[in-house]
Chain A
């Protein structure tokens, strides 16, 4: 048997950024890779399987978008290497599907001319054909097909239109078994690119009529959103509303979940005799995991905002508005989207820095990304804010707790800018790299896509609670329950447990920043994931005090901690690198332990310093 029989045929989706490759990939394979309306969403290759009408299975590879095979950034290199068959043990794809945004053909035509030199069979998918039709864009498909010498299908990836035709065209190419030509691709010089542009321009003029109803809405929206003065104010306003919403809208839902957890604890308490098992379930599982699950509504509200902005097409605008400010801090304009995604979670944020081509620009962005307030900090912030900041309205409209939350986010942003300034303007001075970015047309967010994304987020969060937090909670419960206090002991039992011993042992180190031993013990498992600290506090206080077992953690904290300690804990969490997966991803993306270690050390140092200043400052003004 030959290789061709043993292996599935491989099909690669290639094209400019934001042309709908991933949407097409998802539609073809049923995968759920991230789709959003800005360039550079996909940064690694993903494979999936499809079955053609003949029953033949083929593997499809989704690739990062690019304007040229002459790759400049790590994501584009992936595309180049897959297309040219440079990955070890992999030949070039058997068929390339060039995915084009039908409303924006010029650049992809030039890319197709480059792809043709690779010498593999190709099919052109004119995607976003719905928009082309709506605009009255007239494409002479037959002429284009003859000119380019490749079969053409029209598709609407988001509505799953044209998929069968596309797969059939691919299968026809496979069946034709064309002699595979050796790749004649060489990196084009400026004159080569100009010549290809002239050719693409000629093809455009011959076969594409300009749209009868061009999109004017995008321009009109942009004249407001990109306004030199109001633009930035609107951006700040959007972020502000987002954080207010995280507090204001989530409250009723959170109360509901809290009541549910309390009810569950009550049921278990009534059903089980007072023994160790009951303590494990109520104090360890329900108090620990429940205290984290309560934050699901807030996290979903945050994600709802981010997903809507991404789908609408606002992200590239935000990057445009922030470019000068970021540049002042030594960051590249393209760093904005990775940093904004880090509000959700630093891990996708760090991965999306692959669109940044300069190594130092990319490294600086990676190092500061975890300073952006990720959603795992929300439980910590909300718990402490709920315990220490009164629920009141200031200035008639602003919720004070929301304001403090906004302040914590601002602290994260300002410190990220400060640190990157230090890195790029003091340690690593260098030339400023060019910034070029497409501003995509606005699109109405796709409700299904939004709902699906939210659902995935909810599942990830609940999974984390189950897989990371739950086992850690069992461990903490064991540590805080055993050993039992000696006969005739006077203090609370937990003081004599392992947790008490560990907490008391490290507490002197943390005393200058106002942490008591319960906070100290919560930091240890909290190194794995930030929200674990909340769960750990839930368990430590539940075991320590039977009364509050099903009570509300926030009120326990308010009674037990000074305001200064509470604020210091918040300050610590703005900076602390308490997330093992983030450090792991930095190791993977930079291929060395050096950077995660540098990140860990500088963030711990900042966290300690910030907590120290806040604690001592708050005590000095009498909040101790």
Chain B
């Protein structure tokens, strides 16, 4: 999957499908909790996302369209989400 990348590196305009939430090998309590919260927030494998906005300082946080909702997220948490790009552009 050479065309998938962590969401934390995405720039405004990037679109794609979430292909992996959480690092499945990690059993740290916080990683497990973060994974569940991301999932409950709709950031789940198969969800379509588009990066809409980014903050002024270090481009953080980011605002995403996730299916029909818009959510804000820090890049730090976005690092646990792998996205497969939609547009080859």
A223: chain B residues at CB < 8 Å are 53
**Chain B 24-37 per-residue mask, 1 if CB under 8 angstroms from chain A, else 0:** 00000010101111
A319: chain B residues at CB < 8 Å are 72
Complex Cα–Cα for A333 and B34 (A): 16
Given A320-B63, A439-B72, A228 and B36 contact (CB-CB distance below 8 Å): no
B56 touches A231 (CB 8 A): yes
B73: chain A residues at CB < 8 Å are 435-436
Among residues of A, the one whose C-beta sits closest to the C-beta of B39 is: A193
Complex Cα–Cα for A193 and B38 (A): 10
B68: chain A residues at CB < 8 Å are 103-104, 106, 210, 214
B54 touches A228 (CB 8 A): yes
Given A222-B53, A232-B56, A68 and B40 contact (CB-CB distance below 8 Å): yes
Within 8 Å by CB of A439, from B38, B42, B58, B63, lies B63
Closest-CB distance, B30 to chain A (whole angstroms): 7
A333 touches B22 (CB 8 A): no
A441: chain B residues at CB < 8 Å are 70
Chain A contacts with B in 406-456, Cβ cutoff 8 A: 431-432, 434-439, 441
Among residues of A, the one whose C-beta sits closest to the C-beta of B67 is: A106
B58: chain A residues at CB < 8 Å are 324
A104 touches B69 (CB 8 A): yes
B39 touches A194 (CB 8 A): yes
Q: Is A323 an interface residue (CB 8 A)?
A: yes
Given A226-B63, A228-B54, A333-B61, A320 and B72 contact (CB-CB distance below 8 Å): yes
B57: chain A residues at CB < 8 Å are 324-325
B40: chain A residues at CB < 8 Å are 67-68, 70, 107, 110, 193
Of B22, B44, B46, B59, most buried by chain A (CB within 10 Å of CB) is B44
Chain B contacts with A in 51-86, Cβ cutoff 8 A: 52-61, 63, 67-74, 76-77
Q: Is A316 an interface residue (CB 8 A)?
A: yes
Q: Is A201 an interface residue (CB 8 A)?
A: yes
Within 8 Å by CB of B69, from A107, A222, A232, A435, lies A107
Complex Cα–Cα for A444 and B67 (A): 24
Of B46, B54, B59, B69, most buried by chain A (CB within 10 Å of CB) is B69
A436: chain B residues at CB < 8 Å are 37-38, 41, 71-73, 77
Complex Cα–Cα for A333 and B74 (A): 10
A435 touches B61 (CB 8 A): yes
Closest-CB distance, B24 to chain A (whole angstroms): 9
Closest-CB distance, B34 to chain A (whole angstroms): 6
A190 touches B32 (CB 8 A): yes
Closest-CB distance, A216 to chain B (whole angstroms): 12
Closest-CB distance, B12 to chain A (whole angstroms): 9
Among residues of A, the one whose C-beta sits closest to the C-beta of B24 is: A190
Given A229-B56, A432-B76, A439-B72, A197 and B39 contact (CB-CB distance below 8 Å): yes
Complex Cα–Cα for A379 and B44 (A): 51
Given A106-B68, A431-B30, A323 and B44 contact (CB-CB distance below 8 Å): no
Q: Is A51 an interface residue (CB 8 A)?
A: no
A325: chain B residues at CB < 8 Å are 57
Complex Cα–Cα for A13 and B26 (A): 37
B41 touches A107 (CB 8 A): yes
**Chain A 193-217 per-residue mask, 1 if CB under 8 angstroms from chain B, else 0:** 1100110010000000010001000
B71: chain A residues at CB < 8 Å are 436-439
Among residues of A, the one whose C-beta sits closest to the C-beta of B38 is: A436
B61: chain A residues at CB < 8 Å are 320, 323-324, 333, 435
Closest-CB distance, B3 to chain A (whole angstroms): 23
B69 touches A106 (CB 8 A): yes
B55: chain A residues at CB < 8 Å are 228, 231, 320-321, 323-324
Q: Is A189 an interface residue (CB 8 A)?
A: yes
B30 touches A226 (CB 8 A): no
A316: chain B residues at CB < 8 Å are 72
A226 touches B53 (CB 8 A): yes
Closest-CB distance, B5 to chain A (whole angstroms): 20
Closest-CB distance, A225 to chain B (whole angstroms): 9
Given A67-B41, A190-B22, A439-B72, A222 and B60 contact (CB-CB distance below 8 Å): no
A72 touches B37 (CB 8 A): yes
A434 touches B72 (CB 8 A): no
Within 8 Å by CB of A434, from B37, B60, B69, lies B37
Complex Cα–Cα for A617 and B76 (A): 44
Complex Cα–Cα for A331 and B75 (A): 17
Given A104-B69, A431-B30, A323 and B60 contact (CB-CB distance below 8 Å): yes
Given A103-B68, A189-B36, A324-B61, A435 and B56 contact (CB-CB distance below 8 Å): no
Q: Is A218 an interface residue (CB 8 A)?
A: yes
Q: Is A219 an interface residue (CB 8 A)?
A: yes
B56: chain A residues at CB < 8 Å are 227-229, 231-232, 321, 324
Please name 15 pairs of A and B residues whose Cβ atoms are closer than 8 Å in the assembled complex, sorted by A: A106-B67, A107-B41, A107-B69, A189-B36, A228-B55, A320-B55, A321-B56, A325-B57, A333-B74, A432-B76, A434-B34, A436-B41, A436-B71, A438-B69, A438-B72
If A439-B63, A439-B72 are given as contacts, then 5 extra A-B residue pairs at C-beta distance below 8 Å, sorted by A number, are A222-B53, A222-B63, A226-B53, A231-B55, A320-B72
List 10 tightest A-B contacts by C-beta distance, closest first: A324-B57, A228-B56, A226-B53, A193-B39, A439-B70, A68-B40, A197-B44, A67-B40, A434-B77, A437-B72
Q: Which residues of A contact B (CB under 8 A)?
A: 67-68, 70, 72, 103-104, 106-107, 110, 188-190, 193-194, 197-198, 201, 210, 214, 218-219, 222-223, 226-229, 231-232, 316, 319-321, 323-325, 333, 431-432, 434-439, 441
